[in-house]
Structures are given as structure tokens and as C-alpha cells.
């Protein structure tokens, strides 16, 4: 393994100390230059944010909140710390949510992920991410150019033209979604076109099934994954070890219980919350809405940063029951009232012919009094009546689900 830089192989304690040392400066920078964070962190002493516990006491900013915020304070809801005139691009993601791009080289920090996927200077990169509205095309282009790789900006669609371009230009590398790579190679078979120059790929934007990875490997294409968002840029990336995704060196990760900002124990599935040290867009405790979990130990590839399991679903499990929306945050509020309960999951079914909700609770000691108190809290907070079912600690699946909808309509 040849690291991208020495940051990837430094001792974990050294990395943690560096991240925590940078935290007060980033909080102060956000307070001074971002109207949103000046308001959100009013009264916060930036110099005191020197530990994970202090960070966890700060409020989260949810991706889902950006739409309303941006409608009242265009274009970025007051979150950016750099004037609009000093940015390079403005992008739109579904919602719509508008995202900035600064002028620095590899602003989204993708060179590290491309390097880990085997991209080297001189590789021609066939980039099938969109260059319109969303930032994905520019994200990967910035990283490729930083490595010294020329880029063919293919964009999406036009499968036959994509195949012809690969056959004519003989690119060594592909970036895009894994499903579109499969479409290209299948179309090449149909057209009897030679796309064998493709030897490496970095994919993102959707899940990579093991069967597809193996199918592409059989064709001589080594595929690696990256996890990124349009707001944060690169969050984590895969290496040749293929054992989880390694965090980017420019972010600080927390995994929190869905509907809260409370960190979960290591290994438990929860919502991905990221603090970025980007000076243009200083997102602090940014809740992505994605579920993942931290993997124990270090990667066999030699990189020493924390690993996560990858994308495990969405944290926003809001569901509608008898005409009322029930949110994960309401389940979290219920648990705060009853510390005897370690974890809980609200299961919704209609086995009796009508919507029924049951709060499954992990607890050491249980009795009718606790059950009755839980029923009362659940009714007060959700305006709906529910049942209680107790189980032993560890009895609930470790999958990040707070609300599970089992209703059937067939």
C-alpha cells in the first residue's frame, strides 16, 4: 500500500488530537463568518469545544432543514462563510438544496479516494457523473485533476455514445454509479465493442452489490466505492482491503441515535453526523440522514483512520399512523423520560385489520408500572395509543431502526 500522504498512516491518537485541536478554530470561524452558525452557536465559547463530549453538546444541523432555510435566506441559508462572489460554482440537488463549491483545487477532497482506487497520473478517466445541476461530475473531476489524470466529461445517458467513446479513447478508469458501468459493458457486448481498456473504477451514489463487483472483476475491472454528499464532499472511501470504508482525513465523524444528536456506542448503527473543516462551508455536526456504524480495529491495508460499514439506509424513518406522523425524535423523547429503557423500537403493523403500534423496549428490570408509564408517555408525545413489549438488553437488532413499519396492504 502506497498512501496518498502521511496523514493516512499517522497514529490514531495523533489524528484525534489534531482534529480536536482544530475544532475550536472551526467553531470560531463559523460563528464569525456564517450568519446561520452565529445564530445557532450564540453563547457558545468556541475555545471550550476541545473534546468529543463538548462537540456532542452542540446542536446538529440536518440536511432536511436546509430547504426551508434556503428559501428564506438565498442561496445557502446563511451557512456559507465565503461571499458568493468568491465561489466557483453553485449546484442544486433534489429538494432543491443549493450547494457551493469554492475555488481551491480538489475542493471536495476526492483525490484521496481515487488514489486508493488505483488511479495514477496519466490515466484517462471516463466521468459519467452529471455535470448539470448536481456537483458529482465536478467532485470527481477535481480529484482526478489533482492526481494528474485527464478527464473525459461523459456525463449521464447516451449509452451507445458512451460505449463508442470508451472504445475510441481507451480510458483506463471509470467514475460514476456501479449500475451505469454495468449498462455500458453490457451494451458494449451487444455492439461487439472493445471496452477492455477499463481496468479500474470508483463508484458512488448507490449500493454496490457483491454480485456486480464480482461480475465486473471477472471482466478485469477493479471496483472501489466512495461515500460522499453534495454538502460535505468525500466522507469515506474503500481500499484494496475491501473491509469497510475509511474516513477521509478532513472530517470528524459521529454516529448518533436517529432523531437525536446523542452519540451511540461504537459498533451500533446510527445516523452519520459529520463535522467538516472546510473554511468556505463550515458544516459542524451536519446530520446526513444516512445510517452507518463504526467498524472495530484498523484496516488491513495499513491506513489507520476509523472505518465505517458503508451506507446502511436512511435515518429519517418518519411514518404516518392513523393520520398522524410519528418521528424518531418522539421515540427518543420517550426514552429520555424513562432511563430504565436502554433502547427501543416502535413497530407498526396492521395484523388486526387496523394500524397498531408497539414499543419494543430493552430493559434490565421491568414491571407493569414501567409499562403503564411508557404507554402514557407514548400517548402524550405521539397523540396515539401504543402497546409495550419488553425484551432483554441486546434483544433488538443492531440496524439503526427506531421505527419499523411492518404493515401489509396485499
Whether 243 has a pLDDT exceeding 80, the answer reads yes
* Residues 103 and 87: beta-carbon distance below 8 Å: yes
Residue 206: the pLDDT is 85
- pLDDT bucket at 150, cuts 50 / 70 / 90: very high
Q: Whole-angstrom Cα distance, residue 328 to residue 345?
A: 9
Residue 324: the pLDDT is 75
Distance of CA 13 to the CA centre of its chain: 24
| pTM to 2 decimal places | 0.86
Residue 144: the pLDDT is 98
Strand spans (E) along 293-335: 294-295, 307-308, 319-321, 324-326
Query: Three-state DSSP class for 189?
Result: helix
- C-beta neighbour count of 68 within 10 angstroms: 10
| Section 78-92 average pLDDT | 96
- What is the average pLDDT score of the chain? 94
Amino acid at each position: 500500500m502506497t498512501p496518498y500522504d502521511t496523514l493516512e498512516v499517522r497514529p490514531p491518537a495523533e489524528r484525534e488530537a489534531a482534529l480536536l485541536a482544530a475544532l475550536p478554530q472551526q467553531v470560531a470561524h463559523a460563528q464569525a463568518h456564517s450568519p446561520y452558525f452565529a445564530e445557532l452557536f450564540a453563547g457558545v465559547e468556541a475555545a471550550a469545544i476541545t473534546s468529543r463530549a463538548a462537540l456532542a453538546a452542540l446542536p446538529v444541523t440536518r440536511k432536511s432543514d436546509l430547504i426551508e432555510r434556503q428559501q428564506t435566506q438565498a442561496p445557502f441559508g446563511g451557512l456559507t462563510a465565503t461571499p458568493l462572489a468568491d465561489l466557483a460554482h453553485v449546484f442544486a440537488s433534489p429538494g432543491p438544496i443549493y450547494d457551493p463549491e469554492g475555488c481551491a483545487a480538489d475542493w471536495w477532497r476526492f483525490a484521496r479516494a481515487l488514489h486508493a482506487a488505483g488511479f495514477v497520473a496519466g490515466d484517462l478517466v471516463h466521468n459519467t457523473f452529471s455535470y448539470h445541476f448536481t456537483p458529482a461530475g465536478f467532485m470527481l473531476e477535481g480529484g482526478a485533476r489533482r492526481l494528474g489524470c485527464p478527464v473525459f466529461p461523459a456525463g449521464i445517458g447516451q449509452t451507445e455514445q458512451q460505449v463508442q467513446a470508451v472504445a475510441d479513447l481507451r480510458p483506463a478508469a471509470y467514475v460514476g454509479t456501479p449500475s451505469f458501468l454495468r449498462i455500458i459493458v453490457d451494451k458494449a457486448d451487444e455492439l461487439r465493442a472493445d471496452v477492455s481498456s477499463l481496468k479500474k473504477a470508483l463508484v458512488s451514489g448507490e449500493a454496490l452489490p457483491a454480485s456486480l463487483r464480482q461480475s465486473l472483476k471477472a471482466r478485469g475491472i477493479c471496483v472501489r466505492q466512495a461515500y460522499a454528499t453534495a454538502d460535505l464532499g468525500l466522507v469515506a472511501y474503500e481500499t484494496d482491503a475491501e473491509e469497510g470504508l475509511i474516513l477521509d482525513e478532513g472530517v470528524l465523524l459521529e454516529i448518533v441515535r436517529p432523531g437525536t444528536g446523542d452519540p451511540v456506542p461504537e459498533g451500533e448503527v446510527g445516523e452519520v453526523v459529520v463535522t467538516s473543516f472546510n473554511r468556505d462551508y463550515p458544516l459542524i455536526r451536519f446530520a446526513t440522514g444516512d445510517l452507518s456504524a463504526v467498524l472495530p480495529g484498523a484496516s488491513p491495508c495499513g491506513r489507520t483512520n476509523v472505518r465505517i460499514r458503508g451506507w446502511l439506509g436512511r435515518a429519517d424513518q418518519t411514518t404516518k399512523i392513523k393520520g398522524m406522523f410519528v418521528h424518531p425524535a418522539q421515540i427518543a423523547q420517550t426514552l429520555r423520560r424513562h432511563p430504565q429503557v436502554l433502547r427501543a423500537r416502535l413497530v407498526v403493523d396492521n395484523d388486526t385489520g387496523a394500524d397498531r403500534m408497539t414499543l419494543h423496549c430493552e430493559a434490565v428490570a421491568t414491571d407493569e408500572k414501567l409499562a403503564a408509564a411508557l404507554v402514557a408517555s407514548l400517548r402524550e408525545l405521539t397523540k396515539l395509543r401504543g402497546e409495550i413489549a419488553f425484551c432483554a438488553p441486546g434483544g433488538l437488532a443492531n440496524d439503526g431502526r427506531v421505527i419499523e413499519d411492518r404493515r401489509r396492504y396485499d
